[in-house]
Every structure is written in structure tokens, then in C-alpha cells.
Amino acid sequence: MSVVLLEARNIGKRFGGVQALKDVSLTIRAQEIYGLIGPNGAGKTTFFNVMTGLYPRDGGEVLFGGVPLELDTPYLVAQAGIARTFQNIRLFGNMTAIENVMVGRHVRTHAGVFGAILRTPGQRAEEAAIRRRAEELLHYVGIPHRANDLARNLSYGDQRRLEIARALATEPQLLALDEPAAGMNATETVALRKLIEGLRADGLTVLLIEHDVKLVMGLCDRVAVLDYGEKIAEDVPGVVQKDPKVIEAYLGAGGD
């Protein structure tokens, strides 16, 4: 349990005059569910974007399994084993659900132009395997009946699930979910929670940004709190909840 999977060291990110992230360091252990919380604008999503290489960083590095991630090339981050979802769902809207998941297999497959044009036996076998795996994953997240529908026509909850399926298709070790419960109703949130617990049971490590404090506190093994781009706490939920700095960040300074 205590093997460190990801270690972020002194991550800094500045947008013009705004210091969005200031020397953020955190460690995520293998097979834990790690929560990242904080008030709006605290820098949670920015941290995600830097960590997955979508934003250039101003300082620091991220070690994954002890090896520095090549943050300048996002697809190498995915190849290394980090997959993510987006706060405002980003699916390939005009592709079907199953095609979305099949795209996720891209990084683990190899067929090139000539294989595709000549339909070599190797390419056909790989293509069949991609489709099979995609079907399994749609089943896993619970939307096998939507396989041939356009992603944009799926319901909100199903789109969230589809995004997770696409992320899982890249065979990640660490799955980073950016506010997966945002906009979900109570039933959907319960189902999501089961899904995340199932992922961990299957050996995955989960990094979770979430506003739903109840969900985070109930689900996560450890939680880090960001405020104005700085980490102000990192511990098990019970301790973090009682941390005066955290209470202040969320509720404002008490007293006067």
C-alpha cells in the first residue's frame, strides 16, 4: 500500500500576474484513492492540466513510478500510464460511444498506414481486439447499450461514464478524475462511487478532484487541500476536516 506511484515536486504555474500554483508537492501511493479539494479557483484543475502535460509548467517536476514524466508531450504522459477525464466533459461528440473508447486504445496499439491500407492479418487481429476491449469497457462502466450512439446524444451521466471508459482504454495505472460527480443527481453519484471503488479493487490508483465534500470524505484514503495555489493540508480525511487552516479556507476567518 505504501509504494509511491506519483510524486509531484514543487510544481509552479503562473498565468500572467496570477500565481495559479505555488510550489505544490504531493505524493500519491499506489492503489489509493487520493482526493484533491479546495475552494473555487484554488488551482485544482490547473494542477491536473500541468500534471498531464496540457499546460506548460513554470517549475517543478512529476515523478511517476520513480521516473520523471515528459510533461512537454501529453501523449507520452498517457503512454506512461496516466489517464484523465475533464471537468467539462470532452468527448469526441460526432463519434459513436464505442469509437470514443476505441480511440483510447490508440496509445497501446500499433497499426500504421500500410497495415490499414493492406488490411494485413496483424492489423485485422489488432482491430478486432480493439473493438472487443472497447465493448468490455463500455460494459464495465455500464453503458453497453449505447455503443452505437453518438457521444453527443448520450445523457450527462452516460457521458461521464463514457469519458471514464475512454480513459480506461489507455490502460492507466493512475486515473485522474476532474469533478466526476459535478451535475450528477444522488442516484448517479452513488453509482459513480461504486464505479470508483470497483476501479481501486481492480488495482487502479485514483486521483479525484471533487466539490462534493461528502463524496470525497467518504471515498478517499487521503486528501490534499489547495488554497490560492498552495497546498495547505494533506492527510487522511478525518484529520483534514478538523484542520483549522482548511476550515478557514472554506468558511473564511472565524471570530470577527
* 204 and 82 Cβ atoms separated by less than 8 Å: no
Which residues are at the interface with another protein (CB under 8 A)?
A: 52-54, 73-75, 78-79, 83-84, 86, 90-96, 99, 102-109, 111-113, 115-117, 119, 123, 126-127, 130, 146, 149-150, 152-155, 166-167, 169-170
Q: Which of 93, 183 has the CB closer to another protein?
A: 93
Q: Which of 117, 201 has the CB closer to another protein?
A: 117
Q: What's the min distance (Å) between Cβ of 96 and another protein?
A: 7
Q: What's the min distance (Å) between Cβ of 61 and another protein?
A: 19
Q: What's the min distance (Å) between Cβ of 245 and another protein?
A: 32
Residue ranges of the alpha helices (H) in the chain?
44-51, 74-80, 97-104, 113-118, 121-141, 156-168, 186-201, 213-219, 237-242, 244-251
Q: Which of 64, 246 has the CB closer to another protein?
A: 64
Q: What's the min distance (Å) between Cβ of 94 and another protein?
A: 5
Q: What's the min distance (Å) between Cβ of 190 and another protein?
A: 21
Cell of 70: 515528459
Q: What does the CA dihedral 83, 86, 87, 90 come to, rounded to 10 degrees?
A: -160
Q: Which of 157, 237 has the CB closer to another protein?
A: 157
Q: Which of 29, 108 has the CB closer to another protein?
A: 108
Nearest CA to 30 out of 204, 216, 235, 236 is that of 204
Residue 17 neighbours by CB distance under 10 Å: 5
In the three-class reduction of DSSP (H, G, I as helix; E, B as strand; rest coil), residue 40 is classed as coil
